Amino acid sequence: MAGLRLSWTCAHSNPESSKFLSRFTAESSFRCTWTRLPLFRTSVSSSARRKLCIRNVANDQQKELKERVNGEVVDDCDTFFPDSESIAASIKYHSEFTPSFSPEGFGLSKAFYATAESVRDMLIINWNATYNYYEKMNVKQAYYLSMEFLQGRALLNAIGNLELSGAYADALRMLGCNLEEVAEQESDAALGNGGLGRLASCFLDSLATLNYPAWGYGLRYKYGLFKQLITKDGQEEVAENWLEMGNPWEIPRNDISYPVKFYGEVISGADGSKQWVGGENVTAVAYDVPIPGYKTKTTINLRLWSTKVAPEQFDLNSFNVGDHANAYAAIKKAEKICYVLYPGDESLEGKTLRLKQQYTLCSASLQDIVARFERRSGESVDWENFPEKVAVQMNDTHPTLCIPELIRILMDVKGLSWKEAWDITRRTVAYTNHTVLPEALEKWSFPLMQELFPRHVQIIEMIDKELIHSIIAQYGTKDLELLQQKLKKMRILENFELPDSVMELLVKSAEEPAVDLVEEAESIDEESLPDKEDESEDKVTVNKVDASFKVDPKHPRMIRMANLSVVGGHAVNGVAEIHSEIVRTEVFSDFYELWPEKFQNKTNGVTPRRWIRFCNPDLSRIITKWTGTEHWVTDTEKLAILRKVKLFADNEDLQSIWKEARRRNKLKVVSFLEEKTGYLVSPDAMFDVQIKRIHEYKRQLLNILGVVYRYKQMKEMTLEEREAKFVPRVCIFGGKAFSTYVQAKRIVKFIVDVGATVNNDSDIGDLLKVVFVPDYNVSVAEVLIPGSDLSQHISTAGMEASGTSNMKFAMNGCILIGTLDGANVEIREEVGEDNFFLFGARAHEIAGLRKERAEGKFVPDPRFEEVKDFVRSGVFGPHNYEELMGSLEGNEGFGRADYFLVGKDFPSYIECQERVDEAYRDQKRWTKMSILNTAGSYKFSSDRTIHEYARDIWKISPLLLS
């Protein structure tokens, strides 16, 4: 479509209508070059007698198909140049004909939905073209399965990627609106919680930008995690309402749905085949969200699943007799699968719901992937070729059921043998590990799994048996103690007896260790059987083997999902160099010894489009001007040029405009904090920020205790002494504590109480403020990160897999204080040791320090004891913080003994904060550090990470639409 001319005719004499027509739609035209639309007429209402006519001007003027751009002849079918007038017409069209609101007025909410729908029109053209091209080329495609996709707002990101920010700003100005105010009306998509989900969304952005054929798969949560309210009682949770007004970006695919089964039983056929029958059935329905690349036509897909049941499962008879609850019980049971992200799993019902969620994601996605493979293969489907066309990446252990589910589909539905299905699955699936925390490695009750997924448990038992044989093949059977240790650590089934066939093998090995067991099995006959007088000796041998591999009846039988992920996939990667090393040497050391070729590192990255180009336009313009190119947005290595100290970091002109840009960002933070919390802070203070999920290992408690120590010191000084010793600080916290994580919620309450006391202390004034920002999400981060001076990444060493907020802060010129943990290690190497504030114990010391504590040898620093006593004195209100402070004391016991080493690192932390104050006083030095942090962040782009995944794990290549 080279051009469209829109004209309106209206036969009624509504003056408002006349204004609308003359202002917004008279003779509007726009250029769209991906497709041509036929001439068509639409009658809107016979009563209103209003008619919209759209005519394809290009059919009359073929010469307009080509025009010159920068001196080159460009085919209109390859380029799209909408102007602000045509965009305004498109927005008004959607406000009238895609109505989400009543026709009265054109408020900000209505403007947002109409604007989003006009953007979606353009995305759909590229979206369909991308999909059709992949179908036509029958490409190898990667599929990224994740329980979370923390997307944030989509409008500014989409028009930025389409390079239409200016045109949309002008168009909305014509309509009497401001683009930023319109964008503020969008709710953050409540599809994720923390770094896991944000990483997944950054990856999708990079996949599209780099033209890699890939899709994301997730669940469409109706209420997300929760909306966080901060009150005098700390954190309160209410249901998220992000879908209340609808989601303009998603498109329901009612023609794409798959059955998902729970419970039931497995029946065997005469030929040995297995079928899973009966049970509870739900339907997973697809909702698609376009993900545009930056400056490219590639627009990939995020497919989200929602659950329902067939209409016939509504019990009309029960409803008519008044038993309404029973009438729609099946409907509610199905719908609740996609109500909430991470429902509480303290109860059996909660555990069951979480497993249903995970299986729904895996089953629906794999059925969809298999159907696409069959369709693209045409009449001749070669299942051996499946791994050559499909790569499935499991983002953490949540999608682990992909492994037995793919085997089930291949065996029970497609008729492949166990050997074929197992080989195909292992070549298709890969696993990203995101944590070393035991609770996050996921273990599920065997009886619960067996009840929910009887066929999958059979398959898992077969995989476990394969693993046992691999371990025996590696380590032999002579050293039963060694073998027992390996099996105890590595088996998928925890606290299970060995299969009978394996026991027989071990008994035979113990009796005749020198004989080749395979040759003996082939040559055995009746004469070689033992005499009756040897039976007692045999019994001793059997008892000895039994004793070596006995199970504990007091402990539950479990299924280890992380072990299943490692065994069932062809690649395992950590997400930072230190994390990947811990994965190899500690978490999965036995597996690494068995299959070293499986293990890789893929240091996380973040998209530079959202996390600096769009959220920090002032700084982005400076970078573009001083590097001489805008290519840094897709090639962050261009940022490294700023490392040339004399030319850039020490340049007074650059430092001056850099500092001005950062102050403008801080003024935005000041306004934001006042709006969200009521606290007014000074932009001249250092903005010290820790925004991330609230967890003990992330040590927000260490941070706030450091603030308390600072406050106590101030209170003991004169005004002159305070001002001489301390630079003004605004300590900003944000993050959600999981609703059933009591200790994390205590930390939130403590931070809020400290803030209420400090912020109202007239003696302290602007020297110290403490602010907890409620309902932290991507949009909050997009405001806080560009305006931050210092960012805290202070997890207990060895416990943070990577972190991605540290990368976002560094990219925006913020200086980090942190431990040598996760990606901090690599960031410090890149930005320079002098530009990173380091403190705390190292990862290799942690186990020894905990042991020392258990032995009663730890001697706390007097300053740490002083702070705890100060908290207990009641200075921060009447709330009893004994349990919170008590968790930092004692030498052993659950919830005690300071497992995360807050007390151990406290002296190092407060001394490091003194160095921070000293550096901040020298603003020239601080600005230089800021520039060098941005320069050193070049390595931490998700584009680089995706290139490595595509090359090393997925084996896919970019595919540029022509």
**Catalytic residue numbers?**
434, 692-693, 698, 804, 808
Closest CA to 708 of 863, 929, 900: 863
Closest CA to 392 of 414, 378, 379, 410: 410
Amino acid at 662: R
Q: Which residue has the tokens 């005719």?
A: 9
Report the 3 state secondary structure along 308-336.
ECCHHHCCHHHHHCCCHHHHCHHHHHHHH
Burial class of residue 518 (count of CB atoms within 10 Å of its CB; 0-12, 13-18, 19+): exposed
Q: Does an H or E element contain 770, and which?
A: strand 768-773
Contact 711, 703 (CB under 8 A): no
Contact 943, 610 (CB under 8 A): no
Amino acid at 83: D
Contact 484, 506 (CB under 8 A): no
Closest CA to 189 of 256, 140, 242, 117: 242
Beta bridge partners of 148: none
Contact 400, 441 (CB under 8 A): no
Cα(583)–Cα(801) distance, rounded to whole angstroms?
10
Measure Cα distances from 744 to 199, 676, 736, 758, 895 in Å: 23, 22, 9, 21, 12
Closest CA to 309 of 336, 290, 331: 331
Contact 152, 160 (CB under 8 A): no
Task: State phi, psi for 873 to the nearest 5 degrees.
Answer: -70, -15
Cα(810)–Cα(793) distance, rounded to whole angstroms?
11
Cα(148)–Cα(150) distance, rounded to whole angstroms?
6
Beta bridge partners of 792: 817
The 768-773 sheet, strands edge to edge? 768-773, 729-734, 686-691, 790-793, 815-818, 836-838
First and final CA of the chain: distance in angstroms?
Answer: 17
Task: Give 577-640 as a DSSP string.
Answer: HHHHHHIIIIITHHHHHH-GGGEEE----B-HIIIIIIT-HHHHHHHHHHHT-SGGGT-GGGGG
The number of helix segments (H) and strand segments (E) in the chain equals 38, 28
Measure Cα distances from 80 to 120, 210, 609 in Å: 14, 20, 21
Cα(940)–Cα(551) distance, rounded to whole angstroms?
46
